[in-house]
C-alpha cells in the first residue's frame, strides 16, 4: 500500500480512539453516575494506553519517514498531515516513559494539594508540589528541545511555533496602553445586577436560540449542562458543547456564545479532512480567537443587542422590564480592576495573563523561586491592576493550570483576544456594512466568512500562516488596542 494511504488509515484509527476517549470524558462530565468514577478511570487508563502505544510505535515512525522522503511531491494537505502527525509523534516519543509516568503521578497529587490549598487559602500546602512540577517542566523542556529559551518548548505544546520572545514582544506592545485604559475606564460603566433569578429553562431556551442564530448545526452537535462549560469533538459530524446556568448571572448568554464560537470552528472544518489529524482547530490561540470573537466582539456589541435585546426582555420580563438597551450594553461591558482572571472584562483580562506569563517565564528560566510567588503575585497585581490581593485563594491559587503542569498555556488566551480583533478587522473590510449585518441578526453572513477563511482549513496551515492569509499581517496587538479604544471610548462617552 502507498505510504500516504497507510498513514491516513493510521491517522483515522488514532482519531477514532481519541474521539472514543472524548465520548467517555463527555459522559463523565455530563451524565455519569457518581459511583461509576472508579470504573471509568480504569477504562480511561486502558484506552489511553492503547492509544499511546500506537502513537509511539516504530511502525508510525517508519511511515512518517517514508512520507517525508518524498514530501516535495505531496499536496498541501498531505504535507500538513505529515507535519501534524510528526509533531505529535515527536512530542510523544521525546519524553521517556518513566518521565511521563512521574509527571502524571505528580500532577494528580498536585491537583489534590491545590484544591486543599485553595480551600484553606494557604499557598504553603501547594508549594512543595509546585516546586517539583517546575523542576519536571524544565526537564520536559530539555527533552522536547528549543532554540532560544526553555519556555519556548512549553509554549510550542499549545501554540505551534510560539516563542518566549514573540510573547514578550506582544505583551511589550500591550502593557502600557492596557494599564492606561484600565486607569481611564475602570469603574466608569455600571455593572448589571439581578435581584430576580432567571428560570433555568428560560436560560437554556435563550442559549439555544442564540446558538441557532449563530448557525450552530444541531443535527451535528448538541448542548448540555456541566459545571464548567466546554466544547468537545466526538466525530466529524458530532461537535458538542456544554453551558452552565446560575440563578442571577448572564453567564448563560456569554458561555453559549463562547462555546458556540469554538463549536462553529469545529463544525466548519471541511469534510475532506474528516477522520484525520487535520480535522481539528489548528491551535489553542486560534480556537480562542473564534470563541472570543463571538462572545466579545460580536456578543458584547451594541448592534448585536439592538437585534436580540427585545427578545431577551421578552424572555425575562421580570429582570429587564426597567433596563434600557444602553444600560444593558454598558453593564455587560463594565470595566473593573479585579483579582480574578475568569471574571475579568475585555480591558483588564490580558493584564491577568501578562502576570502569569512573567511568572512562568521566571520559573522556567530559574530567575524566580516558587516560595516567592505569593509576594510576587501581590506586587504585580498592585502594579498592573492597582488592586490589593488579600488572600492566596483569590491570588496565586486561583487557576488550576499549574497543578495540571500546564506551563505555557496562559498566553494562548491573549493570542485569542488579539487574533479575534485582527480577524474582525478583516471581516469589516469584507463587509463594510457590518453594523447593519449585526443589527439585522444576519449572523449567517459572519459565520460563512469565518468558515471560508478559517474554519474549513482545519489544521492545514500553521497558526501564524493562517492569520496572515486572513488578515494580511502577522499577529499584532494594534487592532485589539484600537478596538478597545474605540469601543470603550464610545461607551464611557
**Stretch of residues binding Zn ion (CB under 5 A), selected from 51-59, 220-228, 289-297, 446-454:** 289-297
**Stretch of residues binding Zn ion (CB under 5 A), selected from 211-219, 283-291, 329-337, 338-346:** 283-291
Whether 480 and 296 have beta carbons less than 8 Å apart is answered as: no
- State the minimum distance, in angstroms, from the CB of residue 251 to Zn ion: 13
What would the 3-class secondary structure string for 305-328 be? HHHHHHHHHHHCHHHHCCCCHHHH
* Alpha carbons 211 and 205: distance in angstroms, whole number: 10
Whole-Å CA distances, 348 to 255, 344, 377, 408:
19, 6, 16, 20
From the centroid of its chain, how far is CA 53?
28
Q: Which is nearer to Zn ion, 140 or 350 (CB)?
A: 350
Q: Which is nearer to Zn ion, 291 or 437 (CB)?
A: 291
State which of residues 107, 232, 242, 291 lies at the interface with Zn ion (CB under 5 A): 291
Q: Which residues pair with 231 in a beta bridge?
A: 241
In terms of DSSP bridges, do strands 223-225 and 238-243 run parallel, antiparallel, or are they unpaired? parallel
Binding flag, residue 414, Zn ion (CB under 5 A): no
Helices (H), 381-433: 411-430
Point out the residue whose Cβ comes nearest to Zn ion. 291
Whether 157 and 91 have beta carbons less than 8 Å apart is answered as: yes
Whether 231 and 240 have beta carbons less than 8 Å apart is answered as: yes
- State the minimum distance, in angstroms, from the CB of residue 294 to Zn ion: 10
Nearest CA among 293, 277, 290, 216 for reference residue 455: 290
Number of residues that bind Zn ion (CB under 5 A): 1
- State the minimum distance, in angstroms, from the CB of residue 253 to Zn ion: 15
**Stretch of residues binding Zn ion (CB under 5 A), selected from 12-20, 284-292, 322-330, 386-394:** 284-292
- State the minimum distance, in angstroms, from the CB of residue 168 to Zn ion: 23
Quick note: the x/- pattern for Zn ion over 148-187, rule CB under 5 A, is ----------------------------------------
- State the minimum distance, in angstroms, from the CB of residue 384 to Zn ion: 23
Q: What is the H or E stretch that residue 225 is in? A: strand 223-225
Judge whether 453 counts as a catalytic residue. no
Rounded to a whole number of angstroms, the distance between the first and last alpha carbons of the chain is 67
Sign of the alpha-carbon dihedral angle for 361, 364, 369, 375: positive
Q: Which is nearer to Zn ion, 186 or 291 (CB)?
A: 291
**Stretch of residues binding Zn ion (CB under 5 A), selected from 74-82, 290-298, 376-384, 468-476:** 290-298
Q: Phi then psi for 240, rounded to 5 degrees?
A: -115, 150
User: Of 55, 160, 259, 295, which one is the catalytic site residue?
Assistant: 259
Extract the C-alpha cell encoding 346. 475585555
**Stretch of residues binding Zn ion (CB under 5 A), selected from 39-47, 291-299, 391-399, 401-409:** 291-299
Q: Which is nearer to Zn ion, 296 or 337 (CB)?
A: 296
Extract the C-alpha cell encoding 325. 438597551
Q: Which of residues 81-100 bind Zn ion (CB under 5 A)?
A: none
- State the minimum distance, in angstroms, from the CB of residue 262 to Zn ion: 6
Residue numbers annotated as active site: 259
- The residues that touch Zn ion, with contacts defined as CB under 5 A, are 291
Amino acid at each position: 500500500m502507498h505510504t500516504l494511504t497507510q498513514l491516513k488509515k493510521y491517522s483515522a484509527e488514532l482519531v477514532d480512539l481519541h474521539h472514543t476517549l472524548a465520548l467517555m470524558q463527555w459522559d463523565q462530565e455530563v451524565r455519569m453516575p457518581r459511583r461509576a468514577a472508579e470504573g471509568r478511570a480504569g477504562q480511561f487508563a486502558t484506552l489511553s494506553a492503547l492509544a499511546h502505544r500506537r502513537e509511539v510505535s516504530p511502525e508510525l515512525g517508519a511511515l512518517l519517514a517514508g512520507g517525508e522522503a518524498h514530501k516535495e511531491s505531496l499536496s498541501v494537505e498531505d504535507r500538513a498531515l505529515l507535519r501534524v502527525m510528526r509533531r505529535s509523534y515527536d512530542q510523544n516519543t521525546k519524553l521517556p516513559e518513566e518521565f511521563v509516568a512521574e509527571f502524571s503521578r505528580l500532577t494528580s497529587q498536585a491537583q489534590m494539594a491545590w484544591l486543599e490549598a485553595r480551600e484553606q487559602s494557604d499557598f504553603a500546602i501547594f508549594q512543595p508540589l509546585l516546586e517539583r512540577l517546575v523542576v519536571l517542566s524544565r526537564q520536559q523542556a530539555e527533552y522536547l528541545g528549543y532554540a532560544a529559551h526553555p519556555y519556548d518548548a512549553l509554549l510550542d505544546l499549545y501554540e505551534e511555533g510560539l516563542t518566549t520572545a514573540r510573547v514578550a514582544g506582544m505583551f511589550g506592545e500591550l502593557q502600557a496602553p492596557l494599564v492606561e485604559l484600565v486607569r481611564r475606564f475602570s469603574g466608569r460603566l455600571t455593572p448589571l445586577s439581578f435581584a430576580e433569578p432567571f428560570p433555568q429553562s428560560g436560560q437554556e431556551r435563550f442559549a439555544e436560540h442564540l446558538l441557532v442564530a449563530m448557525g450552530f448545526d444541531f443535527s451535528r452537535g448538541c448542548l448540555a449542562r456541566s459545571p464548567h462549560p466546554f466544547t468537545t469533538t466526538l466525530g466529524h459530524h458530532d461537535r458538542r458543547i456544554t453551558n452552565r446556568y446560575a440563578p442571577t448571572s448572564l453567564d448563560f448568554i456569554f458561555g453559549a456564545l463562547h462555546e458556540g464560537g469554538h463549536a462553529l470552528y469545529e463544525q466548519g472544518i471541511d469534510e475532506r479532512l474528516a477522520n484525520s489529524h487535520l480535522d481539528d482547530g489548528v491551535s489553542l490561540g486560534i480556537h480562542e480567537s473564534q470563541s472570543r470573537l463571538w462572545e466579545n466582539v460580536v456578543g458584547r456589541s451594541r448592534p448585536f443587542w439592538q437585534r436580540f435585546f427585545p427578545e431577551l426582555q421578552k424572555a425575562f420580563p421580570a429582570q429587564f422590564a426597567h433596563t434600557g438597551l444602553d444600560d444593558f450594553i454598558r453593564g455587560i461591558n463594565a470595566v473593573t480592576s479585579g483579582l480574578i482572571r475568569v471574571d475579568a472584562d475585555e480591558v483588564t483580562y490580558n493584564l491577568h495573563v501578562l502576570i502569569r506569563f512573567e511568572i512562568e517565564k521566571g520559573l522556567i528560566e530559574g530567575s524566580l523561586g516558587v516560595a516567592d510567588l505569593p509576594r510576587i503575585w501581590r506586587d504585580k497585581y498592585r502594579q498592573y491592576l492597582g488592586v490589593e490581593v488579600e488572600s492566596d485563594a483569590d491570588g496565586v491559587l486561583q487557576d488550576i493550570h499549574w497543578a495540571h503542569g500546564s506551563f505555557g498555556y496562559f498566553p494562548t488566551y491573549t493570542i485569542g483576544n488579539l487574533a479575534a480583533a485582527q480577524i474582525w478587522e478583516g471581516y469589516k473590510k469584507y463587509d463594510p456594512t457590518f453594523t447593519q449585518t449585526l443589527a439585522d441578526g444576519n449572523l449567517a453572513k459572519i459565520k460563512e466568512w469565518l468558515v471560508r477563511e478559517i474554519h474549513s482549513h482545519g489544521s492545514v496551515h500553521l497558526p501564524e500562516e493562517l492569520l496572515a492569509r486572513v488578515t494580511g499581517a502577522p499577529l499584532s496587538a494594534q487592532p485589539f488596542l484600537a478596538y478597545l479604544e474605540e469601543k470603550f471610548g464610545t461607551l464611557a462617552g
